[in-house]
Structure 1
Amino acid sequence: MLSRIGNSLFWLGRYIERAEHIARYTKVQYVSSLDAPYAQGREFVLESILDMIGISYQYYASYSQLTDEDVLFFVTLDENNPLSIHSTIGYIRENARGARDSISLELWEAINRFYHSMNNYTVVKLHNEGIHEFSQKVEENSSVLKGCIDNTLMRNEAWMLICLGIHMERAIQVARILITKVKDIEKIDPAKLGGPVENYQWTTLLKGAESFDMNKRHYKANPNRRNSLEFLMFNQAFPKSIAYNLDVVHKNIQQIAFHDEKGSNSLDFMAGKLAGQFKYTTIEETEKQVTEFLTSTLDKINQMANKLLEKHLIY
Structure 2
Amino acid sequence: MLSRTADSLYWLGRYMERAGNNARGLQVTLRMASLTGAVDRRNNAWRALLTVSGAAPGFATTGQELTQDAVVRYLAAEAKNPSSIRSCIEAARSNARAVRTALTVDMWEAVNETWSESRRSTDDTFTPDHLPAFLDWVKSRTVLFNGAYADTMLRDEAWSFVRLGTMVERADNTARVLDVHHHALMGAEEGGTLAHFQWQAILRSVSALRAYHWVYHARLDPQRIAELLILRPELPRSMVACYARIEETLDGIATLHGGRRGEAHRLAGEMHARLRFGRIGDIMEGGLHEFLTATVNRNLELGRQIQGFYLQA
Q: TM-score under structure 1 normalisation?
A: 0.93
Between the aligned partners of 1:58 and 1:127, the Cα distance in structure 2 is 22
Work out whether residues 29 and 45 of structure 2, in 8 Å CA contact, stay in contact via their aligned partners in 1: yes
Runs of 4+, deviation exceeding 6 Å: 190-193
Work out whether residues 189 and 221 of structure 2, in 8 Å CA contact, stay in contact via their aligned partners in 1: no
- Matched residue SS, 1:129: coil
- Matched residue SS, 2:241: helix
Cα distance 1:87–1:252, how it changes in 2: closer, same or farther (>3 A)? same
Work out whether residues 33 and 41 of structure 1, in 8 Å CA contact, stay in contact via their aligned partners in 2: no
Cα distance 1:91–1:217, how it changes in 2: closer, same or farther (>3 A)? same
Cα distance 1:191–1:185, how it changes in 2: closer, same or farther (>3 A)? closer
Q: 1:245 aligns with which of 233, 242, 247?
A: 242
Q: CA deviation at 1:174?
A: 0.5
Q: CA deviation at 1:52?
A: 1.1
Q: 1:207 aligns with which of 196, 204, 207?
A: 204
The one-letter amino acid of 1:301's match is: N
* Bigger shift: residues 176-185 or 300-309: 176-185
Q: CA deviation at 1:268?
A: 2.3
Between the aligned partners of 2:303 and 2:76, the Cα distance in structure 1 is 26
Alignment gaps of 5+ in structure 1: none
What residue number does 1:198 align with? 195
Work out whether residues 106 and 152 of structure 1, in 8 Å CA contact, stay in contact via their aligned partners in 2: yes
Q: CA deviation at 1:134?
A: 1.7
Between the aligned partners of 1:273 and 1:259, the Cα distance in structure 2 is 22
- What whole-Å deviation, never above 9, does each CA across 1:236-267 have from its counterpart, x for those lacking one? 111110001100100000111055235xx533
What residue number does 1:69 align with? 69
Work out whether residues 24 and 139 of structure 2, in 8 Å CA contact, stay in contact via their aligned partners in 1: yes
Q: CA deviation at 1:116?
A: 1.2
What residue number does 2:178 align with? 178
Q: TM-score under structure 2 normalisation?
A: 0.93
> Which residues of 2 match residues 58-97 of structure 1 at below 5 A?
58-97=58-97
Q: CA deviation at 1:194?
A: 2.3
- Matched residue SS, 2:59: helix
Q: 1:300 aligns with which of 283, 298, 301?
A: 298
Work out whether residues 179 and 289 of structure 2, in 8 Å CA contact, stay in contact via their aligned partners in 1: yes
Cα distance 1:218–1:192, how it changes in 2: closer, same or farther (>3 A)? closer
Work out whether residues 185 and 226 of structure 2, in 8 Å CA contact, stay in contact via their aligned partners in 1: no
- What whole-Å deviation, never above 9, does each CA across 1:206-243 have from its counterpart, x for those lacking one? 01110000101111112221011000000011111000
Q: CA deviation at 1:38?
A: 4.2
What residue number does 1:101 align with? 101
Between the aligned partners of 2:288 and 2:49, the Cα distance in structure 1 is 20
Cα distance 1:237–1:135, how it changes in 2: closer, same or farther (>3 A)? same
The one-letter amino acid of 2:17's match is: E
Q: CA deviation at 1:131?
A: 2.8
Number of residue-to-residue matches in the alignment? 310
Cα distance 1:41–1:24, how it changes in 2: closer, same or farther (>3 A)? farther
Work out whether residues 72 and 126 of structure 2, in 8 Å CA contact, stay in contact via their aligned partners in 1: no
Q: CA deviation at 1:119?
A: 1.6
Work out whether residues 39 and 200 of structure 1, in 8 Å CA contact, stay in contact via their aligned partners in 2: no
- What whole-Å deviation, never above 9, does each CA across 1:132-179 have from its counterpart, x for those lacking one? 222111100001111110111111110111111111110001001111
Work out whether residues 72 and 131 of structure 1, in 8 Å CA contact, stay in contact via their aligned partners in 2: no
> Which residues of 2 match residues 1-315 of structure 1 at below 5 A?
1-38=1-38, 40-41=40-41, 43-127=43-127, 129-183=129-183, 194-257=191-254, 258-262=257-261, 266-288=263-285, 289-315=287-313
Work out whether residues 234 and 242 of structure 1, in 8 Å CA contact, stay in contact via their aligned partners in 2: yes
- Matched residue SS, 2:203: helix
The one-letter amino acid of 1:228's match is: I
Question: C-alpha root-mean-square deviation of aligned residues, in Å?
Answer: 2.0
- Matched residue SS, 1:158: helix
Between the aligned partners of 1:60 and 1:255, the Cα distance in structure 2 is 41
* Bigger shift: residues 176-185 or 104-113: 176-185
The one-letter amino acid of 2:301's match is: Q
The one-letter amino acid of 1:178's match is: L
- Matched residue SS, 1:37: helix
Between the aligned partners of 1:259 and 1:39, the Cα distance in structure 2 is 58
The one-letter amino acid of 1:296's match is: A
Cα distance 1:151–1:205, how it changes in 2: closer, same or farther (>3 A)? same
